[in-house]
Chains A and B, each alone.
Chain A
Amino acid sequence: MKKNETLRTPSTPSRFKVGDRVQVRDMPNMFYTRTQNYVRGVTGTIAACTYKDLIPEDEAFNYDGRLEQYYIIRFRQKDLWEEYPFDNDTLQTEFPDRWLDPLETGQNRKK
C-alpha cells in the first residue's frame, strides 16, 4: 500500500496525559516488535506525549495502517530489575497507545 493519508484509518484520540500511571501490555511476540520483553507487565508513568505515527508492527510490514499517539514512559529501574542498586534511577522508553493499559492511582503500585 502506498503512503497516502486518505488510505489511513482515522487516528485514535490520546488516552493519557503526562503523569498518568500505565501498565505495558504483555502481547504475544511474533515476527516483529519494538516493545522490550523486560517492560511487559511493568507499571510506569507518562513522561511525555510525543507525536502520532504509524505503529512499528504495521510499518515493519509496509502496511500503512492507523496512526497512534506515542508516549515516553518513565520506569523506576528497581521496578524493572529487582537487584538494581539505586532507588532514584529511572529508565525512559517509548510506545504507541496500543501497548498501554490505564492504571488507577494506587492500584497494583509496587512499594
Chain B
Amino acid sequence: MTSRPELHQQYDIIASLQPALHVPQNCNYENPDSLFRALMHPPHDVGGQHDVPVYYEEKEEEEWELNTYVTCEVLGWKGIWSAEERRRRADNDLGYTLYLGMPYYGRWIWSAARMLVDKKHISLTELLDKIAEVKSRHEKK
C-alpha cells in the first residue's frame, strides 16, 4: 500500500515528467501550425534533433531482454502482429514520456502487453492479477 507521502512524491515525479513546453497549455482549441506539427511528430523520428551526449556502455543483453525479444518474435510468428505494428506501438503510441523513460526492451514488452489487451487475447484484469501474483511470489523469495 502506498503511503500518502509516497503518493505525493509520485505526483511530484509525474509532474516533473511532463514535457517542458515553457508556456501554459490547457487543451488548446487553437494551436499555431508549428505547434500542431510538433505535437503530431512521432517520438521515434529523432534524426536532426538536439540531444545531450550519450554515455556509451558495452553491455550484454539481460535475460529479461532476451525473453522479451523471443516473446515478441513468437507473437509475430503466430501472426498476432507484424514487426511494423510492433514499431508503431513500441516507438510511437506510448508517447514521449514513456519513450524516453523506459529501456529499449521495456518498450517492447509494454507494447506486447498493450497489443494483447487491445486485441482481446487477454483482459487487463487478467494481466494485472498475473503481474500482482508474480510480484508477490518474488517478494517472498
Residues of A within 8 A of B (CB): 2-3, 28-33, 36-38, 54, 56, 59-62, 80-81
Q: Evaluate contact between B40 and A37: CB separation under 8 angstroms.
A: no
Of the listed stretches B14-22, B63-71, B83-91, B128-136, chain A binds: B83-91
Q: Evaluate contact between A29 and B92: CB separation under 8 angstroms.
A: no
Q: Does B41 contact A (CB under 8 A)?
A: yes
Q: Which residue of B lies closest to A39 (CB)?
A: B47
Looking at chain A's contact residues, the main secondary structure is loop
Chain B residues 75 to 114 lying within 8 A of chain A, measured CB to CB, are 79, 81-82, 84-85, 87-88, 92
* Closest beta carbon of chain A to B36's beta carbon, Å: 10
Q: Evaluate contact between A38 and B41: CB separation under 8 angstroms.
A: no
Contacts of B79 in A (CB 8 A): 2-3
Q: Evaluate contact between A61 and B48: CB separation under 8 angstroms.
A: no
Q: Evaluate contact between B85 and A61: CB separation under 8 angstroms.
A: yes
Roughly how many angstroms separate A71 CA and B75 CA in the complex, as a whole number? Answer: 29
**13 A-B residue pairs with CB within 8 Å:** A3-B79, A29-B41, A31-B88, A33-B45, A36-B45, A36-B47, A36-B48, A37-B45, A38-B48, A54-B84, A56-B84, A59-B82, A81-B48
Q: Does B37 contact A (CB under 8 A)?
A: yes
Q: Evaluate contact between B42 and A59: CB separation under 8 angstroms.
A: no
Beyond the given pairs A32-B92, A81-B48, 20 more chain A to chain B contacts, judged by CB atoms under 8 angstroms and listed by A's residue number, are A2-B79, A3-B79, A28-B40, A29-B37, A31-B88, A32-B88, A33-B45, A36-B45, A36-B47, A36-B48, A37-B45, A37-B47, A38-B47, A54-B84, A56-B84, A59-B84, A60-B85, A60-B88, A62-B81, A80-B48
